[in-house]
Amino acid sequence: MTNQLYAAIHAEEFPAQALLRLRTDLAIQPVAILDGRPPLQTVCSLNRAARLKGADAGLTRLEAETIPGLHLLARCAETEAAARAVLLECAAHFSPRIELVDQGEGQTCCCVLDITGTERLFGAPQTLAMRLRDALADAGLRTSIAVSSNFHTARLKAAAIRGITVIPQGQEALALGRLPLAALQLPADPAEVFAIWGIRTLGELAALPESELIARLGLQARDWRTLAHGELRHTFQPIEPEFSLREFCAFETPVEQIDSILFIGARMIECLATRASTHALSLASLTVTMKLDGGHDWQRTIRPALPTIDRKFLLKLLQLEIGAHPPQSAVLSLTLSAQAGQSSKVQLGLFAPPTPEPSRLDVTIARLKAIAGEDRVGSPVLEDTHRPGSFRMENFTVTNSANTGSVLEVPTQSRMALRRIRPPAHVRVQLESLKPSAFRDREQSYIVAAAYGPWRSSGCWWSTDPWSTEEWDVLAESSTGASLACLLVHNCAQNNWQLEAIYD
């Protein structure tokens, strides 16, 4: 039977790490996180640079403001939730069985992985722990990892160390012996009793006689002693983290400059692309949401022609989108959420001309939209209606259409073609017996030799945009003697005539 093996991940000062993982400009600066309602805010978390400046948890806002060079940020629950999801997502690459450990007020984030039987995938426990720590570091999280055959031993040791430790089986009591008794987070009454007895470490607690300890403090004391020996059993309760590509960043002050937004957006896109690539996926769409000063929201969706993880390309599309539709007021927070998609390849023919790269095409289309308008650039799609020439513009996408390999049929006889005029030319029509007898455009006049029709069509009478037309196939002759076969359309609603098409 395979022995159980657990790897505990402990991220201290989690509120500070959650805010700074996207703020690379403040990564090496002294930063303290404030919690509570003004003016009763206190420091709840801080980074190492802030401790070197003399800051500490529990300082009031006024006391923290007296420290020179200390940056103060407000705690954000949504940012911490996004960072916790990233931590669980990185851990899920090494084991699907993860249990999230409750850490009180959320000053730290701790989870335990069941890594039993993963040696063939990731190597020895030391190697797995190093790879796990590096993956979390790439995501912007600084963690400590402890590996043990006992669940609670791994959890307590990870919270007490800095770095990586692997506890051999049978040495759990020795590994926990020097930990302070406060690591057990005992209730106030038994903690006071142990303090009176002079018990300061877990090793001293493990040395107490079991029967006398139970007689004085009850049956729960037996679990504390067993835990200090590294022998307390635990029923593993795994969670199922949901895979969601989402990044959130709240600004301490409203941001008005687009360059500052793009600086944070570049880091967020990099995180999203890295997370998608670890699942062999790409980013099919990117939804940008900004909470603006005044309570309004700004939201746009970027859809590349092909799913991609090119950071520079996605950042360029984000820059063009914000430049074409700038927010109307200062930005309070930025959210990027992506839709995952499969990376696809377009197979070109052997003798087909080369096509531009999809990234260049997307950038070109975005620039054209900024100049001509979004509703004038894209792929035309016919609408489900009988209205002549009714279509809409949709975003351009690349599809892999299968080549049937069929040979094009060459027509054996000539056929008439209808050449549409865009936009239709307005004409003045003369009627005789309700049929066109002559018409004139901007250049010359025509005498109608034969007119066939009318072919009437109408629709949308139930809406605010009804339409009703009469079409005439006309054979006419100009004043210079040239013949013309064309299509004349009478708009009954507006009572005007248009030259819609010419027969070739």
Please state whether the predicted TM-score (pTM) of the whole model is above 0.85.
no
> What's the confidence (pLDDT) of residue 384?
81
Look at the alpha carbons of 471, 473, 479, 482 in this order and tell me if their dihedral is positive or negative: positive
Task: Provide the residue ranges of all domains of the chain, joining segments of one domain with +.
Answer: 6-169, 246-348+358-400, 418-503
> What's the confidence (pLDDT) of residue 6?
95
Residue 463 one-letter amino acid: S
Alpha-carbon distance 502 to 476, whole Å? 11
Neighbour tally for 346: CB within 10 Å = 12
DSSP alpha helices (H): ranges in 66-118? 77-92
Neighbour tally for 403: CB within 10 Å = 8
Residue 270: both structure tokens together: 């990099």
Residue 446: both structure tokens together: 């025509």
* 414 confidence band (pLDDT: 50, 70, 90): low
Alpha-carbon distance 130 to 24, whole Å? 23
Residue with tokens 């004139």: 440
> What's the confidence (pLDDT) of residue 350?
73
Alpha-carbon distance 286 to 496, whole Å? 46
Mean pLDDT, range 252-275, rounded to an integer? 90
Do the Cβ atoms of 157 and 148 come closer than 8 Å?
Answer: yes
* 49 confidence band (pLDDT: 50, 70, 90): very high
**Mean pLDDT of all residues belonging to the chain:** 87
User: Which run of H or E residues covers position 368?
Assistant: helix 358-372
Alpha-carbon distance 87 to 137, whole Å? 10
DSSP E strand boundaries for 139-201: 144-148, 164-166
* 402 confidence band (pLDDT: 50, 70, 90): very low
Neighbour tally for 486: CB within 10 Å = 22
Residue with tokens 């722990």: 129
Per-residue pLDDT tens for 183-205? Answer: 888 888 999 999 999 999 999 99
Strand order in the sheet with 297-302: 246-255, 331-341, 282-292, 297-302
Residue 404 pLDDT > 60: no
Neighbour tally for 305: CB within 10 Å = 17
Mean pLDDT, range 236-240, rounded to an integer? 87
CB neighbour list of residue 276: distance below 8 Å, 6 or more residues apart: 245, 282, 283, 309, 338, 340
CATH domain 246-348+358-400 topology: Dna Ligase; domain 1 (3.30.1490)
> What's the confidence (pLDDT) of residue 135?
93
Helix, strand, or coil here: 392? Answer: strand
Query: The domain 6-169 is classified under which CATH number: 3.40.50.970, 3.40.50.2300, 3.30.2020.30, 3.40.1170.60?
Result: 3.40.1170.60
Residue 269 pLDDT > 50: yes
Residue 352 pLDDT > 80: no
CB neighbour list of residue 79: distance below 8 Å, 6 or more residues apart: 18, 19, 248, 249, 250
Do the Cβ atoms of 317 and 395 come closer than 8 Å?
Answer: no
Mean pLDDT, range 219-247, rounded to an integer? 89
Give me the percent of the chain exceeding a pLDDT of 70. Answer: 92
Cα within 13 Å of Cα(231), Cβ side:
9
Do the Cβ atoms of 148 and 172 come closer than 8 Å?
Answer: yes
Do the Cβ atoms of 283 and 245 come closer than 8 Å?
Answer: yes
Residue 314: both structure tokens together: 């996605």
CB neighbour list of residue 176: distance below 8 Å, 6 or more residues apart: 153, 156, 157, 202, 203, 206, 228, 229, 230
Strand-pair partners of 197: none
Residue 249 pLDDT > 50: yes
> What's the confidence (pLDDT) of residue 437?
93
Residue 493: both structure tokens together: 């609603």
Mean pLDDT, range 370-385, rounded to an integer? 81
Alpha-carbon distance 14 to 247, whole Å? 16
> What's the confidence (pLDDT) of residue 379?
83
Residue 405 pLDDT > 50: no
Mean pLDDT, range 482-502, rounded to an integer? 90
Helix, strand, or coil here: 479? Answer: coil
Do the Cβ atoms of 488 and 499 come closer than 8 Å?
Answer: yes
Residue 360 pLDDT > 80: no
Mean pLDDT, range 394-402, rounded to an integer? 63
Buried b / exposed e across 27-46, counting CB within 10 Å, b at 16+? eeebbbbbbeeeeebbbbbb
> What's the confidence (pLDDT) of residue 466?
85
Give me the percent of the chain exceeding a pLDDT of 90. Answer: 53
Mean pLDDT lowest for which of 159-168, 210-219, 400-409, 435-444?
400-409
> What's the confidence (pLDDT) of residue 111?
93
Residue 403 pLDDT > 90: no
Mean pLDDT, range 481-500, rounded to an integer? 90
Alpha-carbon distance 316 to 4, whole Å? 49
> What's the confidence (pLDDT) of residue 345?
61
Which candidate, 144, 66, 61, 55, places its Cα nearest to that of 108?
Answer: 144
Per-residue pLDDT tens for 448-480? Answer: 999 998 999 888 888 888 889 999 999 999 888
> What's the confidence (pLDDT) of residue 33?
92
Chain centre distance of CA 90 = 16
**CA distances (Å), 389 to each of 280, 382, 384, 422, 461, in order?**
43, 8, 11, 10, 18
Helix, strand, or coil here: 379? Answer: strand
> What's the confidence (pLDDT) of residue 55?
92
> What's the confidence (pLDDT) of residue 3?
80
Look at the alpha carbons of 254, 28, 9, 45 in this order and tell me if their dihedral is positive or negative: negative
Residue 410 pLDDT > 80: no
Residue 106 pLDDT > 80: no
Per-residue pLDDT tens for 314-324? Answer: 999 999 889 88
> What's the confidence (pLDDT) of residue 1?
44
Q: Provide the Cα torsion 487, 492, 497, 502; round to 10°.
A: -10
> What's the confidence (pLDDT) of residue 400?
53
Mean pLDDT, range 364-372, rounded to an integer? 81
Mean pLDDT, range 138-152, rounded to an integer? 94
* 422 confidence band (pLDDT: 50, 70, 90): confident
> What's the confidence (pLDDT) of residue 348?
62
Alpha-carbon distance 153 to 108, whole Å? 17
